[in-house]
Amino acid sequence: MSYQILDNCVSCGACMPECPEGAINEGSPFVIDPKLCTECAACAEVCPVEACVPMPQRTGA
């Protein structure tokens, strides 16, 4: 599981320097690489529009 950035992202860039793993890439919206994300929530803490949220956990096989 990792964090994701929702479509309400305003591309302000506040999250990028906060990510200790460099998992966030520019885009519209910005994108979090799930392979690099450690779920530290640093991005969510600084996001002014609450666009950084945990990905929903998948169920089933």
Instruction: Evaluate whether 36 touches 46 at the Cβ level (below 8 Å).
Output: no
The radius of gyration computed from the CA coordinates of the chain, to the nearest angstrom, equals 11
Classify 1-56 by CATH class. alpha beta
pLDDT in tens, 7-61: 999 999 999 999 999 999 998 889 999 999 999 999 999 999 999 999 987 666 5
pLDDT band at 1 (very low <50, low <70, confident <90, very high): confident
